[in-house]
Amino acid sequence: MHASAPISAFQRSRLCHLPQLAVLACVLAAAAPASAGLVINPTWDEATLSFFGANEDAVKSAFATAAAQFTSRYSDNVQVNITVRGAAGTSTLGASNTFINSISHASMFTAVAADAKSSDDATSVGATGSLKSADPASAGVAHNWWVTRAQQKALGLIASDASTDGFTTFGAGFSYDFDASDGITGGTIDLVGVMMHEISEVMGRIGVSGGVIGGVPGYTLLDDFSYTGANAKGLGNGAGNNFSIDDGSTLLMAFNNGGLGGDSRDWASGGNDAFNAFSSSGVVNGLTSTDVRVMDVIGWDLTPSTTKVPEPTSLALMGIALAGLAATRRRKQ
């Protein structure tokens, strides 16, 4: 199985960028070329991608396929710039590092409400929605809200530009299947699925979930969609937290228990899914309809032609994880 890094590692990966946050918040790079809709622009770190040897072109093709799953579904007229790296061996399967910027909860809510276009957006910011104008974090306790740089573009908080929004890293020591269109060969890992997982994190599918950044607890927009039940917000990273757009009345998917390892806002184990904290080898880990919805409500605008993809209808393949690559880590930083 593949697993995401614990919250402490997630914080370290972003703390290393904190000195640049103020600069990024105040200084915009040269404007990106005009584009019709969302563009995910990779910059290849050739020195590290060389770890893949003869498979380097296959890695680039897989990334293009992964990126297309987002650019075909979302219409934001922005450019997301990602540096793509390789890593030797098997200490890292997939990892992301992204620039983040602090924002007040009031400003975040205003931006999300102004950007609302889909029915799910309307629900989430409506009277019975998960996003309230009032800050749900503990009153009187210092804390920050965070959005990724790419997410700021989607929400109209900064202009689209050509500056780097984040980094993704993929380990070269694993056995991969680079093309999921004809299924995944037994004993190999769906690299496109791993890449979609990491790209989506640069786009804002991350949680801080009360973890400490810069000396105070922090939260993200996705944390604001976490519920333990009806009208019961679950901003932390423990068990029982679920994704909900309607104030917890409908729990759409269980979040991973970050307290036991893995990212707090990856999905808990279930059907095969690119956004899971843990998943199997030998299976396609694609985008489900819930994946499409979560990216929508955290700021990315669905194209009018986007239709929901089917959810997995059976969990029968879950047992394969125990007999397969059971200890493989998705992210280790």
Residue 329 lies in a domain: no
Quick check: 322 and 281 in contact, CB under 8 A?
Answer: no
CA 193 to chain centroid, in Å, comes to 12
The per-residue pLDDT for 260 is 84
Collapsing DSSP to helix, strand or coil, 164 comes out as coil
Residue 191 lies in a domain: yes
pTM assigned to the model: 0.84
The per-residue pLDDT for 100 is 97
Alpha helices in 183-299 (DSSP H): 191-202, 289-297
The per-residue pLDDT for 281 is 93
Residue 331 lies in a domain: no
Burial class (CB in 10 A: 0-12, 13-18, 19+), 306: middle
CA–CA separation, 42 and 39 (whole Å): 10
Residue 298 lies in a domain: yes
The per-residue pLDDT for 31 is 35
> What type of residue sits at position 175?
S
Residues of the chain under the 70 pLDDT cut: 1-36, 306-333
- The domain tally of the chain equals 1
> What type of residue sits at position 68?
A
Alpha helices in 45-97 (DSSP H): 46-49, 56-71
Residue 1 lies in a domain: no
- Beta-bridge partner residues of 212: 217
pLDDT digits (tens, 9 = 90+) for 228-275: 999 999 999 999 999 999 999 999 999 999 888 889 999 998 899 999
Residue 26 lies in a domain: yes
Residue 66 lies in a domain: yes
Average pLDDT along the chain: 84
Residue 243 lies in a domain: yes
User: Could you tell me the residue range of the domain that residue 214 belongs to?
Assistant: 7-323
Quick check: 234 and 222 in contact, CB under 8 A?
Answer: no
